[in-house]
Amino acid sequence: MFYEAIFQPSEQMNYNTDAKKLAGKKIAVQDGWIIEDGPFKGQNCFYIPNSNVGWIPQCDLKGLKSTSFVQWQEIGRRLGFIN
């Protein structure tokens, strides 16, 4: 499924520079997996395709909602992850 949300990085996660630049912005993410250990154990995580942001725990995504593929692609284009 395709989702959109506002990325609000937590202090518990060590995000890279590219991820930190997305703080406070609407991002397009895809469903990942259930986190098996660490401080986010049991949470679902998401990822931004075609990026080096890595996985994002659900708690760092505000207003997470499913979206159409067209809308998801548009958000990805605006952020430079989709051509």
Question: What's the pTM value of the predicted model, to 2 decimals?
Answer: 0.90
* CA distance linking residue 53 with residue 36, whole number of Å: 19
* CA distance linking residue 22 with residue 33, whole number of Å: 22
Token pair of 52 as six digits: 């080096």
Instruction: Parse the chain into domains and list their residue ranges.
Output: 2-79
For the chain, residues with pLDDT lower than 50 are: none
pLDDT digits (tens, 9 = 90+) for 22-36: 999 999 999 999 999
Strand ranges of the sheet holding 55-57, from the earlier edge strand across to the other edge = 55-57, 44-47, 26-34, 2-7, 61-66
